[in-house]
Structure 1
Amino acid sequence: MTGSDPTHETDTDTFGGRPTEAGAPTETTFGHLTVLEDVSHEQVPEVEEDAYFHRPATSDHTDVDIVTRALEASMNVVLKGPPGVGKSFLARYLCARTNRPLYRITLSETTYREDLLGHMHLVTAPGGESVTEWVDGPLTRAVREGGVLLLDEINAADANTVAALNAVMESHRTRSLTIPQTGETIIPHEEFRVVATANPGYQGTYELNAAFEDRFRHVELDYLPAELEVDLVFRRSDLSREREPDVERLVAFAGRLREAYLDGELSTPITTRELVRIATFMEDGFMDLVTATRSELLARVHAHDESLVETLIDKQL
């Protein structure tokens, strides 16, 4: 039995087919990560080259520097931070830039091992009889093909599901994956990696045990610096640059709401995507700043957040 519709960025009907391996390593790197040969693998994401803003992280290094360095060193990575900072998008972006197949699953209490590993599937044989065959899940396919397994909300899964990952995330020389239903043991492809995302300390999440956490290189992500977020809003909307003072006010206002969220005053996070939608409704004078903000946020925040958000809009915008 499998869980209730976990999110996969794959067509599960193709899992049973012959896997296509990731391309061979080239002499080119992106950040610190080797670019693989482009073999037109169907699971390599399509993301524009300038779609992700590299943000300052440690010393003179960016988040992209740190994550690509870890992946190149055969480490698995967990990206931590509040919702809407681009954790999953960073994984997609790096896979797109380096031609790596990406298999994504969003974890929850109703995600089971079978959702990761795969399942037996009833099919009709050429002779007309019904037979069962094994269908690879996203973990198994990434292991076979040298892909990246993206585990969204790793700390929302229960311990039994997470335990399915223990052996495959051992050190590079000793890792393996065994499929109990078939008895097959797979030695992971050289390029196989795990990237996870986590929203630490938020409702509906669990503490990961220390042994499992130790299998990851931890990277903290935060919202973009204000000047970069302003630039991003203009890049992703058709709003005239003449409205820059309004967008600067909007980004500063979002910063205040994010502080309220982190302090527990609000239960709804405010993301850059919402700021872009607000800017879109400001295009061509369709709405002013306050009206567009009110229209977007009051319709989306939780009911018990509406009063505070409305008050802050009135006071700060």
Structure 2
Amino acid sequence: MTRSDAAVGPDPTPVGEPTDERFGELPVLADVGHDRVPDVGPDEYYHRDAAGGRTDVEVVTRALALGMNVLLKGPPGVGKSYLAKYVCSRTNRPLYRVTLSETTFREDLLGNLQLVSADGGETVTRWVDGPLTRAAREGGVLLLDEINAADANTVAALNAVMEAPETRTLTVPQTGETVAPHEQFRVVATANPGYQGTYELNQAFEDRFRHVKLEYLPTAVEVDLVFQRTDLDRSREDAVERLVSFAGRLREAYVDGELSTPITTREVVRIARFMEDDFMSLRDAARSELVARVDEYDETLVRTLVDKRL
């Protein structure tokens, strides 16, 4: 079976050839107008210091340039998924994102057979690529959020396609097709180690990744970031420091299991935007954003913390 006579949906759009330009350590690909290349907009990723005097962006792009897959580890809200999106946007790589859970099956990654209407009006069965298969054909990046929330059977579908570039393959059991992954194809996964509802990854699978650990931004850096991304004057520095410190308290509550919703830097910035031009006080802006943001079971705790600390 060939894809042309058995598949339905848009034809794959292979990525462009590598150019002489680089982002971090990774070559930028020629822009072929692929609609899955993300647009991060003006809210760029903050490059954090990593080991050896390199930044996290340099480490991740180096690993991808060397043909490695990358596992980004750390608590929710530190920008793991955003980092993958940021790198793809800067290098013209299409991104296919899947959030994994115990209800994710192999077919959700590989694709499935569907009944469709043929040109003659009859109903026929055709194959539809899933995100893994499509990314492998095109040379895109498959982003697997919460990789340690998937069961072993789902993860097993990735074993062969995540081998070394010269030996990796992807077989579609339903059709018997063997896909030769594009040389630019990579897998980036994220994990929140040790959180409820997650599994331990087996050693052989973990060894297929270059591991990179991310932490929350230092307080001083996050304060500066708020000023960079808002129109607040530096005369409001005390209020912004209180806001960032408060976000840190909520993150501790999340890690300790008191709160079920993580608080990101993006939410901190949104709160600060509503403090511009004295539109809202710090307390009102925080309450307005966070009470609507958190799970309904967390509302009482968040209201109490806002009133006590802000």
Give TM-score, length-normalised by structure 2. 0.91
Aligned CA distance change for structure 1 residues 15 and 128 (closer, same or farther; 3 Å):
closer
Aligned partner (choices 68, 72, 75) of residue 79 of structure 1:
72
Preserved contact between residue 258 and residue 269 of structure 1 (Cα < 8 Å): yes
Aligned equivalent of 2:208:
215
Q: Which runs of structure 2 are paired with 1:64-103 in the superposition (5 Å)?
A: 64-103=57-96
Counterparts of 1:297 and 1:130 in 2: how far apart (Å)? 50
In percent, how many aligned pairs have the same letter?
73
Unaligned runs of 5+ in 1: 1-13
Counterparts of 1:73 and 1:79 in 2: how far apart (Å)? 17
Preserved contact between residue 15 and residue 137 of structure 1 (Cα < 8 Å): no
Preserved contact between residue 15 and residue 141 of structure 1 (Cα < 8 Å): no
Aligned equivalent of 1:152:
145
Aligned equivalent of 1:291:
284
Q: Which runs of structure 2 are paired with 1:76-155 in the superposition (5 Å)?
A: 76-155=69-148
Counterparts of 2:67 and 2:246 in 1: how far apart (Å)? 40
Preserved contact between residue 8 and residue 126 of structure 2 (Cα < 8 Å): no
Task: Give 1:34 shift.
Answer: 1.0
Counterparts of 2:237 and 2:298 in 1: how far apart (Å)? 28
Task: Give per-residue Cα distances to partners, 1:285-312, cap 9 Å, x unaligned.
Answer: 1221122223333444445545554454
Aligned CA distance change for structure 1 residues 15 and 99 (closer, same or farther; 3 Å):
farther
Counterparts of 2:108 and 2:154 in 1: how far apart (Å)? 9
Preserved contact between residue 123 and residue 133 of structure 1 (Cα < 8 Å): yes
**Aligned residues between the structures:** 304
Unaligned runs of 5+ in 2: 1-6
Task: Give per-residue Cα distances to partners, 1:77-104, cap 9 Å, x unaligned.
Answer: 0111111111111111100111111111
Task: Give 1:49 shift.
Answer: 7.0
- Look up the SS of the partner of 1:56 in the other structure: coil
Aligned CA distance change for structure 1 residues 303 and 125 (closer, same or farther; 3 Å):
closer
Letter of the aligned partner of 1:125 in structure 2? Answer: A
Counterparts of 1:316 and 1:218 in 2: how far apart (Å)? 37
Tell me the C-alpha RMSD between the 2 structures. 2.0
Counterparts of 2:8 and 2:55 in 1: how far apart (Å)? 36
Q: Which runs of structure 2 are paired with 1:47-62 in the superposition (5 Å)?
A: 47-48=40-41, 51-62=44-55
Task: Give per-residue Cα distances to partners, 1:119-163, cap 9 Å, x unaligned.
Answer: 112222222211111111110010001000000111111111111
Counterparts of 1:166 and 1:285 in 2: how far apart (Å)? 54
Preserved contact between residue 30 and residue 97 of structure 1 (Cα < 8 Å): yes
Aligned equivalent of 1:3:
none
